[in-house]
Amino acid sequence: MDVLELLNEINEIVDTASGVPFTGKILVDGNEIQEIVKEISLALPNDIQQAQWIKAERQQIIDEAKKQHELVVQEGQRQADALVEESEITVRAKSRAADLSRQTETAVRQLKLDTYDYIDKILYDFQEKMEQMNVSYFGDMFTSLQKTFEGINQTVQNNRLEIKDLAYKTHMEENE
């Protein structure tokens, strides 16, 4: 199960749990909740490992692009050296080498930009997923906890008022 499904399961357990009368509390199986939390803890490192893999893959792509650039430049230099003997051929070779160098630099630059866009998209998707988890699950859990605490507070307040009323009635009986 992924983290979102596990959090949904916790939310369902809380929603369907039996209530304790007069307290506003619910009863849940602690072992079941702990097991789900353990599964969440095991699932989160996969997302983190994926981000690390993306970072390593990005560096590998950049390194490969640099190697390709160097090979193209070396090939262009070899071709230019072979044609050096004749001036017209030398002029064309230098021009061709310059064109190859510009094309290679353009290709490397474009490959880098494409790589950055690809990595940014993956990181953006990961960030969106984390935001969705935060909003969907942690927000719901916080709201549920807040309602529980408000219910407990209201119950305690009602009990205090009831005790004060009983004390007042007892005091009034004593004065009669």
Mean pLDDT is lowest, of 5-9, 53-57, 86-90, 117-121, for 86-90
State the Cα–Cα distance between residues 85 and 108, nearest whole angstrom: 31
pLDDT band at 22 (very low <50, low <70, confident <90, very high): confident
20 φ, ψ (degrees, to nearest 5): -95, 120
Q: Is the separation of the CB atoms in 43 and 1 below 8 Å?
A: yes
pLDDT digits (tens, 9 = 90+) for 100-138: 999 999 999 898 888 888 888 888 888 888 888 777 777
Residue 84 has pLDDT above 80, yes or no: no
CA distances to 15, 30, 74, 100 from 24, rounded to whole Å, are: 13, 18, 77, 76
Q: What is the pLDDT of residue 132?
A: 82
Q: Is the separation of the CB atoms in 106 and 72 below 8 Å?
A: no
